[in-house]
Amino acid sequence: QVQLVQSGGGLVEAGGSLRLSCAASGRTVTTYTMGWFRQTPGKEREFVAAIRWSGGITYYADSVKGRFTISGDNAKNTVYLQMNSLKPEDTAVYSCAADSHPGSRWPFQFGSWGQGTQVTVSS
């Protein structure tokens, strides 16, 4: 069982930046892809970004391309989300996720989830 612990988030003004972190742990931890999702009340969970450790391939939602950057350390099973030029519409609960299936491809099989952290962008 992979456990994901998030940190970061909070309140920021529009145009500002925040950084989220997520560390995976467990008795036997092997993650092949890690990602970030977000959700607002009354809406479905939305994909934000993902990084596939093999080859360091990154994926982004169109709504965050050019503003958000996903990165991480495979050896530490840690992933980061640097969020720049934040907009009020980025306000949501952000959750990290891990895919522990070898050979998994887009849209991946995220089976482990972090506890979620609130990001609020004021206008």
Q: Which two structure tokens, joined as six digits, stand for 117?
A: 């952290």
Contact 60, 52 (CB under 8 A): no
**Minimum mean pLDDT among 42-46, 63-67, 102-106: which range?**
102-106
Tell the residue number behind the tokens 């940190």, with chain if given: 7
Model confidence pLDDT, tens digit, residues 18-57: 999 999 988 767 888 999 999 999 999 999 999 998 889 9
pLDDT at 96: 97
Residue 50, number of CB atoms within 10 A of its CB:
23
**Do 119 and 64 form a contact (C-beta atoms < 8 A)?**
no
Do 7 and 20 form a contact (C-beta atoms < 8 A)?
A: yes
What residues have CB less than 8 Å from 113, skipping those under 6 apart?
4, 95, 96, 97, 98
Q: How far apart, in whole angstroms, are the C-alpha atoms of residue 28 and residue 118?
A: 29
Report the chain's mean pLDDT, rounded to a whole number.
Answer: 94
Three-state SS at 88: helix
Q: What is d(CA 109, CA 113) in angstroms, rounded to the nearest whole number?
A: 11
pLDDT surpassing 80 at residue 76: yes
**Residue 75: pLDDT band by 50, 70, 90 thresholds?**
confident
